[in-house]
């Protein structure tokens, strides 16, 4: 497994997390983590979104990552404004990158624990 890049304060950006996931895609696939990638290109002359949406399905959880670029213009494209946006969700709730990273690096243990709990019930 390829390690993740962290900033000096230990914070992980969404971009770093996404890079980590993509570099380790084969490893995660072997663990049973399904990664779906979807290109985003939608909008009109006044509002346009382009980028990627990623979804990881693991155990009973879903991690969603969105990295998009939005172009907005009220009147004409000569004065359009653009900005990037990134989001990270675990089961539909916004979460910190460190939480998702910890989940991924501890996935084997979490999976084993959940399987043992199912057997014991």
**Per-position DSSP letters for 91-109, written without gaps between them:** TTEE--HHHHHHHHHTHHH
Q: What is the pLDDT of residue 26?
A: 93
Q: How many CB atoms lie within 10 A of CB 1?
A: 11
Q: Which residues pair with 90 in a beta bridge?
A: 63, 93
**Distance between CA 39 and CA 28 in Å, rounded?**
21
- Read off the pLDDT of residues 53-112 as tens digits, 9 standing for 90 and up: 999 999 899 999 999 999 888 666 567 788 999 999 999 999 999 999 999 999 989 999
- Read off the pLDDT of residues 40-67 as tens digits, 9 standing for 90 and up: 999 987 889 999 999 999 989 999 999 9
Q: CB under 8 Å to 108, separation ≥6 — which residues?
A: 31
Q: What is the pLDDT of residue 44?
A: 84
Token pair of 38, please?
Answer: 């979807």
């Amino acid at each position: 497994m390829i390690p993740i890049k962290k900033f000096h304060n230990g914070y992980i950006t969404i971009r770093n997390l996404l890079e980590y996931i993509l570099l380790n895609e084969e490893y995660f696939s072997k663990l049973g983590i399904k990664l779906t990638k979807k290109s985003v290109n939608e909008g009109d002359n006044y509002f346009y979104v382009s980028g990627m949406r990623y979804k990881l399905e693991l155990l009973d959880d879903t991690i969603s990552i969105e990295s998009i670029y939005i172009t907005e213009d009220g009147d004409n494209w000569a004065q359009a404004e653009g900005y990037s946006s990134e989001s990270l969700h675990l089961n539909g709730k916004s979460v910190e990158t460190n939480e998702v990273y910890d989940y991924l690096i501890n996935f084997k243990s979490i999976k084993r624990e959940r399987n043992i709990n199912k057997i014991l019930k």
